[in-house]
């Protein structure tokens, strides 16, 4: 018997998500635990796994479509369910008028893959037909794009089932309109009809490009603006000698495949400092301060899609080799956009490191809802005075940004002193 697959709440307080990709074909059996669809939140792409074996019988949401949590996205059941049974179930749904109910067979799905340009050549414009009762069927994202561009859907050729209009059909129509304007030398030939905001028109020979902003970068921008506006930042800077730390790293990596990085040792030192000064292992809840019992440390990772901060849990009790392996895995999956939502949540502090780029020192914005972020600079050989004697040592500068609401200056200073001592006497990291 066919059943409805609904958009899950893949992250706490998430109200919507984007259908990124359908990973199985219609009417093709899948196994329990197989990833049948990937949805995208503002932070990560999340694979939705099948709870039991079955098959997708009809798609109710297009790839690229934003869907509210709890809304239908597909019909699933046993392979070979009759179309009448699927139609009857879909008819019970409160779908917005005009929304396409997706392909019902492999042949229909293949028809969706026909390039819009070919469809324009093969058929006349317009998706309304007597079979559709004169109505135009279009996906929500297609309607949104057309409305923003002032495009009449009656002039768009639909390539979906029953000539329903997909996103690519609208984009093809807009591209054709731009090409026609450019050929005619129209004044708006260089402007995009689907632009969300008024943009300064490009002049002849202009040496710039307006690059669209991803959902992830938009989310990062909002969080950081909110952080600077809501969290009163204060900063502590420290200079630490890391010669011993580098020696320990060299010995740990000698003859092994561990590949422990300097940043792994810093993250471990942060966890030890948290265990000694728990007053920094907190977060502000508005009417309370949450005190954590273990050290969960976020590590900033810059990807081509934007900045993400996966969290390594239980660092205070984790061997350094395990920490290095766990961090490498999170970084690799961050670049592949395969982090799970729970791996981006929790913790009280972020470690961000620009030392590999030669940056000596910088101050970072706190990653909400964390109470602090540690910015780590490059380790370099510099003049250094010890016991009144001038010598040369490997020096690294750090800057701790702290939210003054849950953390007082004295607490942060005590924590910074502990961290400096741990890094300069690194055997404590391995204890």
- Report pLDDT digits (tens) over 210-242: 888 776 777 778 888 989 999 999 999 999 999
For residue 226, count other CB atoms closer than 10 A to its CB: 11
Q: Which backbone phi and psi does 47 adopt, to 5 degrees? A: -80, 130
| Band of pLDDT at residue 174, cut at 50, 70 and 90 | confident
- Candidates 233, 370, 404, 425; catalytic one: 404
Helix (H) or strand (E) holding 67: strand 66-68
**Which pLDDT does position 105 carry in this prediction?**
39
Distance CA 279, CA 293 (A): 11
Q: Which residue has the tokens 């768009």?
A: 156
pLDDT digits (tens, 9 = 90+) for 278-306: 999 999 998 999 999 999 999 999 988 77
CB 373 within 8 A of CB 198: no
**pLDDT of residue 379 exceeding 70:** yes
**pLDDT of residue 31 exceeding 50:** yes
**pLDDT of residue 111 exceeding 50:** no
- DSSP H helices in 373-426: 409-424
pLDDT digits (tens, 9 = 90+) for 58-94: 999 988 888 888 899 999 998 878 888 898 898 888 6
229 is annotated as an active-site residue: no
CB 79 within 8 A of CB 28: yes
Of 380, 374, 365, the C-alpha closest to 399 is 374
Determine the average pLDDT of the residues in 35-60. Answer: 86
CB 151 within 8 A of CB 126: no
In sequence order, what are the beta bridge partners of 55? Answer: 77
Of 109, 101, 102, 99, the C-alpha closest to 140 is 99
Domains, the chain, in order of start with CATH, read: 3-170 (2.40.50.100), 216-430 (3.30.559.10)
Distance CA 215, CA 156 (A): 27
The four Cα atoms 150, 152, 155, 158 give a dihedral, to 10 degrees, of: 100
**Which pLDDT does position 396 carry in this prediction?**
97
Beta strands in 85-198 (DSSP E): none
- What is the C-alpha radius of gyration for the chain, rounded to an integer number of angstroms? 28
């Amino acid at each position: 018997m066919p059943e409805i697959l609904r958009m899950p709440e893949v992250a706490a307080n998430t109200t919507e998500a984007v259908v990124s990709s359908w990973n199985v074909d219609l009417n093709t059996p899948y196994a329990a635990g197989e990833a049948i669809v990937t949805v995208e939140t503002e932070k990560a792409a999340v694979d939705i796994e099948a709870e039991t074996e079955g098959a997708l019988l009809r798609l109710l949401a297009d790839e690229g479509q934003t869907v509210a949590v709890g809304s239908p996205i597909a019909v699933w059941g046993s392979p070979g369910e009759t179309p009448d049974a699927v139609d009857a179930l879909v008819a019970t749904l409160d779908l917005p008028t005009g929304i396409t109910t997706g392909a019902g067979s492999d042949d229909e799905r293949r028809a969706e893959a026909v390039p819009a340009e070919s469809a324009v050549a093969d058929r006349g414009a317009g998706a309304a037909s007597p079979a559709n009762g004169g109505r135009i069927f279009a996906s929500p994202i297609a309607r949104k794009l057309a409305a923003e561009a002032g495009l009449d859907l009656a002039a768009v050729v639909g390539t979906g089932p029953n000539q329903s209009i997909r996103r690519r059909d609208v984009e093809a129509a807009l591209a054709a309109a731009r090409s026609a304007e450019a050929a005619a030398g129209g004044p708006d030939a260089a402007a995009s009809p689907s632009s969300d905001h008024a943009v300064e028109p490009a002049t002849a020979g202009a040496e710039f490009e307006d690059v669209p902003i991803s959902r992830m970068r938009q989310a990062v921008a909002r969080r950081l603006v909110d952080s600077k506006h809501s969290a009163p930042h204060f900063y502590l800077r420290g200079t630490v000698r890391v010669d011993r730390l580098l020696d320990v790293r060299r010995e740990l990596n000698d003859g092994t495949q561990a590949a422990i990085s300097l940043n792994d040792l810093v993250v471990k030192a942060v966890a030890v400092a948290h265990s000694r000064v728990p007053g920094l292992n907190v977060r502000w809840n508005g009417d309370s301060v949450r005190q954590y019992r273990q050290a969960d440390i976020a590590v900033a990772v810059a990807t081509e899609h934007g900045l993400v901060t996966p969290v390594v849990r239980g660092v205070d009790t984790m061997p350094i080799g395990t920490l290095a392996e766990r961090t490498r895995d999170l970084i690799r999956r961050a670049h592949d956009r395969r982090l799970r939502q729970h791996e981006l949540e929790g913790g009280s502090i972020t470690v961000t490191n620009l030392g590999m780029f030669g940056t000596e020192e910088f101050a970072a914005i706190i990653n909400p809802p964390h109470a602090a972020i540690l910015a780590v600079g490059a380790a370099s050989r510099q003049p250094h005075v010890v016991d009144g004697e001038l010598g040369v040592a490997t020096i690294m500068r750090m800057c701790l940004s702290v939210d003054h609401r849950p953390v007082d200056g004295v607490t942060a200073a005590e924590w910074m002193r502990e961290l400096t001592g741990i890094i300069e006497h690194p055997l404590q990291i391995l204890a």
